[in-house]
Amino acid sequence: MIEYSNEKKISAEELSRVFKLSGINRPVDDLDRLKTMIDNASIIWTAWDNKKLIGVARALTDFSYACYLSDLAVVEDHQKQGIGNTLVEKLHSQIGPDVSLLLLAAPSALNYYPKLHFENITTAFLKKRRS
């Protein structure tokens, strides 16, 4: 049975493993950067199979107007089981219906997010990071 939590602490090594096994493009070998990503997140929801981390939803928010879902990753052998959907639902429930939830999708995920009731918009802009 999959257990979900927004209270369990995760390490940079655990996050790196999930990112590597999910196929998401993140700085998986930069553990200092991953630790900073964990430490500065407003919300982290995790999915566990027994005591093994298998999914993460990481977000930044003001808890009032907007929430940016910066990472949604589920290890490949647990994908297509509703785990990502449940992580997003739990995060959305935590921020409430008056807070917009937005994200940047990888091209490979463009067909996934509409299934989770995200609307594809053309009114967003991006300044890319250096690395």
pLDDT at 109: 84
Instruction: For residue 93, tell me if it sits in a domain.
Output: yes
pLDDT at 61: 98
Instruction: For residue 127, tell me if it sits in a domain.
Output: no
pLDDT at 70: 96
pLDDT at 94: 98
Instruction: For residue 69, tell me if it sits in a domain.
Output: yes
Domain range spanning residue 87? Answer: 2-116
Could you tell me the pTM of the whole model?
Answer: 0.92
Instruction: For residue 125, tell me if it sits in a domain.
Output: no
Instruction: For residue 56, tell me if it sits in a domain.
Output: yes
Q: Which CATH number do you get for residue 86? A: 3.40.630.30
Instruction: For residue 126, tell me if it sits in a domain.
Output: no
Question: How do beta strands 52-61 and 43-49 pair?
Answer: antiparallel
Chain segment 74-97, per-residue pLDDT in tens? 999 999 999 999 999 999 999 999
Domain count, the chain: 1
Regions of the chain with pLDDT less than 70:
none
